[in-house]
Amino acid sequence: MSELNKLTISDARDGLRKGDFTARDLTDACLAAAAGSEKLNAFSAHTPDRAVEMADAADARLKAGDAPDMCGIPLGIKDLFSTEGVQTQAASRILDGFRPPYESTVTSQLWRDGAVMLGKLNMDEFAMGSSNETSTYGPAVNPWKRKGDDAALTPGGSSGGSAAAVAGDLCLAATGTDTGGSIRQPAAFTGIVGVKPTYGRCSRWGIVAFASSLDQAGPMTKTVRDSAIMLKSMVGHDAKDSTSANLPVPDFEAALTGDIRGKTIGIPKEYRMDGMPQEIEDLWSRGAEMLKDAGAKLVDVSLPHTKYALPAYYVIAPAEASSNLARYDGVKYGHRAKLAPGDGITEMYEKTRAEGFGDEVKRRVMIGAYVLSSGFYDAYYLRAQKVRTLIRQDFEKVFADGVDSILTPATPSAAFGIGEMADADPIKMYLNDVFTVTVNLAGLPGVSVPAGLDADGLPLGLQLIGRPWEEGDMLNTAYALETAIGFSSKPEKWW
């Protein structure tokens, strides 16, 4: 039973219900794997005592025949989710020592359904980054390596710890959050499945806010079926988040028939970028062919404002962040700078934030303050909000023409080396989000599916974008794609 940590959620669920093993066995296997994973730096906090307690409670429920699908499933939780009494600091120094006195809605629903918390997972500071290198805990490391090359690679970001933990079988699945691609890009970099639901599907309450009109929580799992199972537990209306949608919770797993005959898949020409590696282009064409072979109809579509999504995002997200992060002032929680004699409250704010925030967070907070400042608001922020309308309309037109899902590459490259982008300007790093960011701006659901390995032996992902609230249909197409691709590669254990 030493390999229980390698199970999928669906296999573990079935095994638990049959009594092949207990939730405690499963949790012990994951705790052992997590304890031996220091080199991956995926965990920011381990909670073994709580895990064992939760596993025993899950076993009692299983015995009583009252076990939801997630009952007894060991999870890792991104450090952005508030977990009651457990270190939660959004990978930032400014939240040093913060122990939330409350639980986020998403995690409380997972615990309601019997899931088990193994600990908290590393990420980019305040979810700002694409390589996990902005974390105050230091970068998480990708379990994958290039063939014949020992260089440490990034698992992507911002949900890098979540991706590394799932790909490295330290847990069965993990929570992530996605503001511009922070679930889908790391999922693609590590050969796992990551889902960003429709905006409003998951409550944002208790998740440390980055850009409130873009943030969504979602599952990061080993298979599409696992994402469908876990997503069902995470979603639902929450009166504590005014943007949470009051819609019934669908059975996403029941939507996975694998039958996509008659579905229309859009291939957007604007996603064929200059300088895109041939491997990614080929992967995309192969994915499209597979969907066609499964009975779907392919159509060329145009999303003409795609090119403007990144600049619009890098106005809107920092603007919202500068407002959201104003609460870190050294008064209510976290770090406060040591003050010099005579320092007043302004010095306290300025020194605390200078010490507590990392460089990328400072940069974005200042950009946000600038684009919102009087004299520049119309030129930057208001203009970006108008471009955002046009980006959403691009998708609305395509969906109105009968397209069910849109297929694109997930990322413009495979995982890169840690430190490789250190001297690049910040915009180079921002380009990681080029295929994913439109989905956040338009509030749509998206999923990254592992689709193959590149010449270096690193995983690459394809992205499907669905209609709003049609995660079930989108996941069914993803399931058909996953089945056709048959991706089964795993990183070799070196850590």
Partner 1 sequence: MSIDKETARKVAHLARIAVAEEDLEPLAGELSAILGFMDELNEVDIDGVEPMTSVTPMALYRRPDEVTDGDIQDKVLANAPDTREGFFAVPKVVE
Report, as residue numbers or ranges, the catalytic residues: 78, 158, 182
Residue 150 CA: distances (Å) to CA of 121, 133, 165, 166, 443: 24, 18, 19, 21, 39
How far, in Å, CA of 59 to CA of 52, rounded?
10
Contact string 205-234 vs partner 1 (x = CB under 8 A): --------xx--------------------
Give the residue carrying structure tokens 């056709």.
484
Q: Which of 269, 272, 292, 307 binds partner 1 (CB under 8 A)?
A: 307
Binding-site member from 2, 285, 302, 373 for partner 1 (CB under 8 A): 373
Using rule CB under 8 A, residue 196 touches partner 1: no
Candidate segments 185-193, 286-294, 307-315, 445-453, binder of partner 1 by CB under 8 A: 307-315
* Stretch of 48-56, 177-185, 311-319, 411-419 contacting partner 1, by CB under 8 A: 311-319
Residue with tokens 């949900």: 159
At closest approach, how far in Å is the CB of 106 from partner 1?
18
Among 50, 93, 392, 397, binds partner 1 (CB under 8 A): 392
Tokens of residue 22, six digits: 């207990």
Cα separation, 214 vs 179, in Å, equals 5
Figure out which of the listed residues 208, 230, 367, 453 binds partner 1, where binding follows CB under 8 A.
367
DSSP string, 87-144: ---TT-GGGTT---SS--HHHHHHHHTT-EEEEEE--SGGG--SSSTT-TT-----S-
Distance CA 43, CA 33 (A): 11
| Sole binder of partner 1 in the list 15, 258, 426, 457 (CB under 8 A) | 426
The DSSP result for 403-469, as a single string, is --EEEEES-SSS--BTTTTTTS-HHHHHGGGTTTHHHHHHT--EEEEEEEE-TTS-EEEEEEEE-TT
Binding segment (CB under 8 A) for partner 1, from list 106-114, 152-160, 304-312, 455-463 = 304-312
Q: Among 214, 202, 210, which Cα is nearest to 240's? A: 202
Assess 349 for contact with partner 1 (CB under 8 A).
yes
Is position 354 an interface residue for partner 1 (rule: CB under 8 A)? yes
Q: Which is nearer to partner 1, 16 or 441 (CB)?
A: 441
Q: Does 366 bind partner 1 (CB under 8 A)?
A: yes
The least distance separating partner 1 from the CB of residue 366, rounded to whole angstroms, comes to: 5
Site string for partner 1, 440-479 (x = CB under 8 A): ---x------------------------x-----------
**Phi (first) and psi of residue 44, to 5 degrees:** -100, -20
CA pseudo-torsion sign 86, 88, 91, 94: negative
Please identify, using beta-carbon distances, which residue of 151 and 345 lies nearer to partner 1: 345
CB-count burial class (<10 Å; 0-12, 13-18, 19+) for 227:
buried
424 part of the interface to partner 1, by CB under 8 A: no
Q: Give the shortest CB-379-to-partner 1 separation in angstroms.
A: 8
Q: What share of the chain is helix, strand, coil (3-state, %, to 5)?
A: 40, 15, 45
Q: Which of 92, 122, 179, 244 binds partner 1 (CB under 8 A)?
A: 244
**Residue 363 in contact with partner 1, rule: CB under 8 A:** yes
Q: Which is nearer to partner 1, 152 or 431 (CB)?
A: 431
CB of 130 to partner 1, least distance (A): 15
Using CB under 8 A, which residues numbered 76 to 115 contact partner 1?
Answer: 97-99, 101
Say whether 297 sits in a helix, a strand or coil. strand
CB of 343 to partner 1, least distance (A): 6
Distance CA 36, CA 401 (A): 51
Binding to partner 1 (CB under 8 A): which residues in 121-140?
Answer: none
| Residue 487 binds partner 1, judged by CB under 8 A | no
Cβ count within 10 A of residue 223: 22
* Alpha carbon distance 14, 69 (integer Å): 9
Q: Which of 111, 189, 357, 487 binds partner 1 (CB under 8 A)?
A: 357
CB of 367 to partner 1, least distance (A): 6
Contact 8, 16 (CB under 8 A): no
Q: CA 315 to CA 381: how far, in whole Å?
A: 6
Cβ neighbours of residue 37 closer than 8 Å, sequence gap 6 or more = 43, 165, 168, 170, 495
Query: Is residue 239 a contact residue for partner 1 (CB under 8 A)?
Result: yes
> Whose Cβ is closer to partner 1: residue 376's or residue 494's?
376
From 200, 266, 409, 466, residue interacting with partner 1 (rule: CB under 8 A): 200
Q: Does 274 bind partner 1 (CB under 8 A)?
A: no
* Least distance to partner 1, CB of residue 353, Å: 5
Q: Does 21 bind partner 1 (CB under 8 A)?
A: no
Q: Which of 4, 384, 415, 434 binds partner 1 (CB under 8 A)?
A: 384
CB-facing half-sphere around the CA of 209: CA atoms within 13 A? 19
